[in-house]
Amino acid sequence: MLNAVNLQKTFNAGTVNEKVALNGATLCLEEGEFCTVIGGNGAGKSTFLNALAGVWPVDGGSISLDGIDVTGLPEYKRAKYLGRVFQDPMTGTAANMQIDENLALAKRRGGHRGLGWGVTKAEREEFHELLKILDLGLEDRMTSKVGLLSGGQRQALTLLMATLQKPKLLLLDEHTAALDPKTAAKVLETTEKIIQEQNLTTMMVTHNMRDAIVHGNRLIMMNEGKVILNICGEEKKKLTIEDLLHKFEEVSGTEFTSDKEILSR
Amino acid sequence: MSPSLVVIFGDIIMSLNIATLFAALPGNVAQGIIWGIMALGVYITFRLLDFADLSVDGSFATGGAVTVVLMLAGFNSGAALAIAFVAGVLAGLVTGVLHTCLGIPAILSGILTQIALYSVNLNIMGGKANTAISVDKFNLVISLRYIDKAIITACIFAAIVMALMYWYFGTEQGSAIRATGANPAMSKAQGINIDMMKVIALSISNGLVALSGGLIAQYQGFADINMGRGAIVIGLAAVIIGEVLGNAFFGKRMNFVLKLLFVVIGGILYYVIIGIVLWLKMPANDLKLFQAIVVAIFLAVPHIKNKRASSFGKAAKRGGIKNA
């Protein structure tokens, strides 16, 4: 489904702030694979996801989704194939628009936006049923502005929006990091449910090693803009946090140093 | 107060005649409605797109110039206004392209278009700064000569524009424009071409501004190179006065129709206020200063309200060492 080969990206090339963010990152995902992504600060996890989403063009390498070469497509065109949920709950939704309007915008992802109604009556009924899945009572608040929702509610809504049109690849960029532990667990549970139901090919960046191990059927670790560890199948099921830390030291030759990861063990 | 000042104020008050105020008010209302259409254009960029577009000062005069010159060339007033709208659309297009394709900051893009339009407008009017069109010789759609009719005509225009805006911003494309203004990152992630949406919104906005300019030119019987000077301030004043008023009356029940309606009401109110201060013998030369102060006050109101609700001063009074 996803075929990202040898991605290169350097920010501020030729200046003192030059930063090689991606240095040959490669990843292939089969349809229905749920891959968690871990790595220290600045390892290139979010950059990798942004490269796939087309936030900026890559300096080198190629990206294809379901056999379609998307390397040259700008973000808004690539959006047709991608569902995205961001770390900041504010990013994924339009605060001063209604819940049903936000969902309707997502429903038209990849389609033509003409002069038909922005939200139709049939869609309102459809959204009403869909929102029940989240079990947050949002189905009775469809005309409320999204800005009135809590961070967790907004992330759940964004998740629904990202998967309303089945994406070829779902990109979750630390989408529970800004939430309190209880809400984070709930959103993660919903995430798992939606991914299972729709058999979505997914990449989930997380700083929580336990989440990375528990969820999904594939795990990659990134360091210095490369995928340095790739674990799947039975091996992943048996994985422990100690294993991961050990493997990291083995592969990278340095100690795994990220307060966030260590503290959240 | 020194005796001389008392005498001056006394003279002014003695010279005020309430009848002259009432005689002038219908004219202010008509002007206010037409400027309300202009303010609806400003509302699109300022509120829906979150883009402070200064090109309107130029496109307003463009609308006036195009309308008058075309009518002098034999076009009927409807066709002239329609072409004026298109001219405004083109002006907005230029600002949009400067901003999106060439990466020039929003405010500067508007200023560049505005200053360029000054020359363009002079050329449209054949190098003259002022071109008159007499209501006696031409069939004008709106004129201050027939003030009752002018108010009705202005209301019809405003109602049509509001209806079209209500429809358009409820469509898929209109929603995409609103989303672009509300959250560009999200819009891109949902596959919206935000550059395209900005250009479309700027075009529609400036089209409406030019239409309003064309109506004002007919209303006053001439187009002037300076007729759009400070238009953005008047537009903003109408939008903001309307918002403050609308929130006072309807609060959270403000829907999109009411928001649009209150923009036009804001325009009317603004011109009535201007009428009153002029009647109170404020020198016309000080009008722009007065405009700026009014807009500054209304822009500041929401901020000051917030500050009063939660300020460091109050925090110190509530808590602080003294009270601990």
Task: Confirm whether A32 is domain-assigned.
Answer: yes
Question: How far is Cα A81 from Cα A66, in angstroms, rounded to an integer?
Answer: 9
Residue A35 domain-assigned (yes or no):
yes
pLDDT in tens, chain A (265 residues): 899 999 999 999 999 999 999 999 999 999 999 999 998 888 899 999 999 999 999 999 999 999 999 999 999 999 999 999 999 999 999 999 999 999 999 999 999 999 999 999 999 999 999 999 888 999 999 999 999 999 999 999 999 999 999 999 999 999 999 999 999 999 999 999 999 999 999 999 998 888 999 999 999 999 899 999 899 888 888 888 888 888 877 777 666 655 555 555 4
Amino acid at B166: Y
Q: Which domain holds residue A43?
A: 2-93+151-263
Q: Which of A21, A76, A64, A60 is nearest to A44 (CA)?
A: A21
The residue whose two tokens read 């392209």 is B97
> Tokens standing for A165?
């049109």
| Measured distance CA(A65)–CA(A3) in Å, rounded | 6
> Shortest CB distance from A106 goes to which of B173, B182, B190?
B190
Burial class (CB in 10 A: 0-12, 13-18, 19+), B272: middle
pTM of the predicted model, to two decimals?
Answer: 0.90
Angle A163-A165-A166 (CA atoms, 0-180°, nearest 5)? Answer: 65
In a domain, A135, yes or no: no
Which residues between 175 and 194 in chain B have a beta carbon less than 8 angstroms from any beta carbon of chain A? 175-176, 178-179, 182-183, 185-194
Taking CB atoms and an 8 Å cutoff, what residues of chain A touch B201?
none
In a domain, A106, yes or no: no
For residues A260 and B82, give the distance between their C-alpha atoms in angstroms, rounded to a whole number: 62
Q: Say yes or no for a CB contact (<8 Å) between A117 and B170.
A: yes
Residue numbers in B near A106 (CB within 8 A)? 190
User: Min CA distance, A241 vs chain B (Å)?
Assistant: 33
How far apart, in Å, are the Cα atoms of A157 and each of A89, A132, A152, B184, B201? 10, 11, 9, 18, 27
Nearest CB to A95 within list B182, B190, B192: B182
Query: Would you say residue A199 lies in a domain?
Result: yes
| pLDDT given for residue B14 in this prediction | 72
Q: Which candidate, A58, A44, A109, places its Cα nearest to that of A82?
A: A109
Instruction: Give me the tens of pLDDT residue by residue for chain B, a chain 324 residues long.
Output: 566 777 777 777 777 788 888 888 999 999 999 999 999 999 999 999 999 999 999 999 999 999 999 999 999 999 999 999 999 999 999 999 999 999 999 999 999 999 999 999 999 999 999 999 999 999 999 999 999 999 999 999 999 999 999 999 999 999 999 999 999 999 999 999 999 999 999 999 999 999 999 999 999 999 999 999 999 999 999 999 999 899 999 988 889 999 999 999 999 999 999 899 888 888 888 888 888 888 888 888 878 888 877 777 777 777 767 655
B59-90 pLDDT, tens digit each: 999 999 999 999 999 999 999 999 999 999 99
Assign 3-class secondary structure to chain A: CEEEEEEEEEECCCCCCCEEEEEEEEEEECCCCEEEEEECCCCCHHHHHHHHHCCCCCCEEEEEECCEECCCCCHHHHHHHEEEECCCCCCCCCCCCEHHHHHHHHHCCCCCCCCCECCCHHHHHHHHHHHHHHCCCHHHCCCCEHHHCCHHHHHHHHHHHHHHCCCCEEEEECCCCCCCHHHHHHHHHHHHHHHHHHCCCEEEECCCHHHHHHCCCEEEEEECCEEEEEEEHHHHHCCCHHHHHHHHHHHHCCCCCCHHHHHCC
Hey, are the CB atoms on B183 and A91 less than 8 Å from each other? yes
Residue A158 distance to chain B (closest CA, Å):
10
Bridge partners of residue B224, in order along the sequence:
B130
| B168: chain A residues, CB-CB within 8 Å | 115
**Where residue A223 sits, what CATH number does that domain have?**
3.40.50.300
For residue B224, give the 3-state DSSP assignment: strand
Q: Calculate how close chain A gets to B303, using CA atoms only, in Å.
A: 18
Tally of domains within chain A:
1
Contacts of B100 in chain A (CB under 8 A): none
A122 falls within a domain:
no
Q: How many angstroms separate the CA of residue A199 from the nearest CA in chain B?
A: 21
The torsion of the CA quartet B236, B239, B244, B249, rounded to 10 degrees, works out to 170
CB A220 within 8 A of CB A20: no
ipTM of the complex: 0.90
Q: Are B242 and B79 in contact (CB under 8 A)?
A: no
Q: Does A127 reside within a domain?
A: no
Q: Is residue A117 part of a domain?
A: no
